[in-house]
Structures are given as C-alpha cells and as structure tokens.
C-alpha cells in the first residue's frame, strides 16, 4: 500500500483508461479525485467502484476542461481536501477531419481539453508537490504525441504539445525533493490502440467495411499501425501509471513511454 496517505487526481476518469488508473491507485490505498462528464447515477457508480478497489475516500468533479475558471474551482477544492500528490491528465477528446475540413471550433476544443487543461492543472498542483518533496504528474499523451497520422491535425498538435509541456515541467522540478521522499517527476504514457470509447467510432467505421464484423475491423485497423496486432486493455495502462507513482521511480522523469505494440518502433 505504498500510496497510503496520498491523494490522486485523475481527469477523465469515469471510464476507459482514466477509470483503470484511478482503480490502480485506489488498490494501493490512495484517496482518489475522479473527474469527467457523467450524470449523477454514473458518478455514483464510479465512486463505488473506486471505493471497492481500495480507496479510503473519493471525490467527484465534472469541471469543463475548456473552462479555466472551472478548472481553478476544482483545484481549489482539491487543495482544501489536502492537495494532489499525484496528478494524471487523461481527459481528452478526438475528432478526425482533414486539415482543410477541421473547423476553428474543432481546433479550439481539442487544444483546450487535451493540452491547455493539463497546463492549468499542473500549474496549480505542482507547487504544492514541491513543498512535500514528492509528486507525480502523469500525462496520457498517446502515440500521437510521438508520431502523426492523417486527419488528426488538432489531436496530434495537442499531444505533441503535451509531450513538450511535460519535458519542461520535468526539468523545472527535477531537483526538487530527494530519493528518500520520492522526488517530483513528470512523464507521459503514450498508448497505441487501446480498448476505449474514443476509438470506437474508428473501429465501427472499419467494421462496416467488413459487413459489421468488429473483430475483422479491429484487425484491419491494427495491421496498419500496431505490429503486435493486439490492443491494450486500460488496466495495463493503469499498472504502468501505478509503477511510475512509486517512490522508487524517482529518477524516471521527462520520458514518453509508448504502450503501442511496436507502432513507434517502425
């Protein structure tokens, strides 16, 4: 229970990768702040799942990550609760469109949620981490923070920006804390094809090409990019995040770790 007494804030954690990460932290005794777009029933269900996974306490927020004032209000409340020792920026949106067809509204929304939102949580959380000598920022950046794909200009731009932001923050806080306290680290996890709702429209579109066969559609998608031909389960990302949060990982900072079945090795 190496996270006992610690508090983790995970944005975009009512489903998929974010929920898996929140459960992983809960399993090691952390209090968890969950966040996302959810109605009252879904929010209650998520909180129950986190408690069942082992968290001693849970808070829920539905802050709009496009709204700086809403983010600040959430961060104020988290500080009142004791502050985040671990911050995971997982909230993200995606819309595929060619550069010519991507509207200003699409660009602004994707940049705001996927990049600016992380900046605003980090600038609030990291100074408090410094006072404690321990802190973890884990940004979920996608393989599209390392390589590009067509029809994803706003998303790829945001994810490349998130990798850059993480490197800067890693450098600024690298010498804070000690080996004994765990230090402060900032890293990106870069998933490839992972079984989440955000890829479902692409899977369904490809399945339609195979007469509605989802298995064949998924295999077709992975064949183009992911040499392992296997998707990742969100729980696998959760376990990597959990390991990065361990004080033993004090010297791993400024990295971008692909979980992509060899995609970015090509």
- Alpha-carbon distance of 46 to 211, in angstroms, equals 35
Rg (CA), the chain: 18
Contact of 156 with 131, CB cutoff 8 Å: no
- Alpha-carbon distance of 199 to 186, in angstroms, equals 26
- Residue 155 annotated among the catalytic residues of the structure: yes
Query: Which tokens is 231 given?
Result: 């998707």
Contact of 264 with 226, CB cutoff 8 Å: no
In sequence order, which residues have a C-beta less than 8 Å from that of residue 250 and are 6 or more positions away? 177, 179, 182, 183, 185
Query: Which tokens is 155 given?
Result: 């998303």
Catalytic residue among 134, 155, 173, 210: 155
Query: Which tokens is 199 given?
Result: 């890829």
What element of type H or E holds 109? helix 104-111
As beta bridge partners, residue 59 has 33
Contact of 42 with 60, CB cutoff 8 Å: no
Of 191, 220, 190, the residue nearest 203 (C-alpha): 220
- Compute φ and ψ for 163, nearest 5 degrees: -65, -45
Residues catalogued as catalytic: 155
């Amino acid at each position: 229970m190496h996270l006992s007494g610690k508090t983790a804030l995970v944005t975009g954690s009512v489903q998929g990768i974010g929920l898996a990460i929140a459960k992983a932290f809960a399993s090691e005794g952390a209090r968890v702040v969950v966040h996302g777009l959810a109605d009252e029933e879904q929010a209650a269900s998520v909180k129950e799942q986190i408690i069942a996974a082992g968290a001693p306490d849970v808070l829920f927020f539905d802050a709009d990550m496009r709204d700086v004032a809403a983010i600040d209000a959430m961060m104020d409340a988290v500080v009142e609760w004791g502050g985040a020792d671990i911050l995971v920026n997982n909230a993200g949106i995606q819309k595929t469109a060619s550069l010519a067809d991507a509207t200003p509204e699409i660009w602004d929304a994707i940049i705001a949620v996927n990049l600016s939102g992380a900046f605003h949580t980090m600038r609030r959380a990291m100074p408090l981490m410094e006072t404690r000598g321990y802190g973890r920022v884990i940004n979920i950046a996608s393989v599209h923070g390392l390589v590009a794909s067509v029809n994803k200009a706003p998303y790829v731009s945001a994810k490349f920006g998130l990798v850059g932001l993480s490197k800067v923050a890693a450098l600024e806080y690298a010498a804070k804390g000690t080996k004994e306290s765990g230090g402060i680290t900032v890293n990106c996890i870069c998933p490839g094809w992972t079984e989440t709702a955000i890829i479902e429209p692409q899977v369904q579109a490809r399945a339609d090409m195979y007469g509605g066969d989802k298995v064949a559609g998924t295999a077709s998608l992975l064949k183009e990019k992911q040499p392992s031909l296997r998707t990742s389960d969100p729980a696998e990302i959760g376990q990597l995040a959990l390991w990065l949060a361990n004080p033993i990982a004090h010297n791993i900072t400024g990295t971008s770790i692909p979980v992509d079945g060899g995609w970015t090795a090509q």
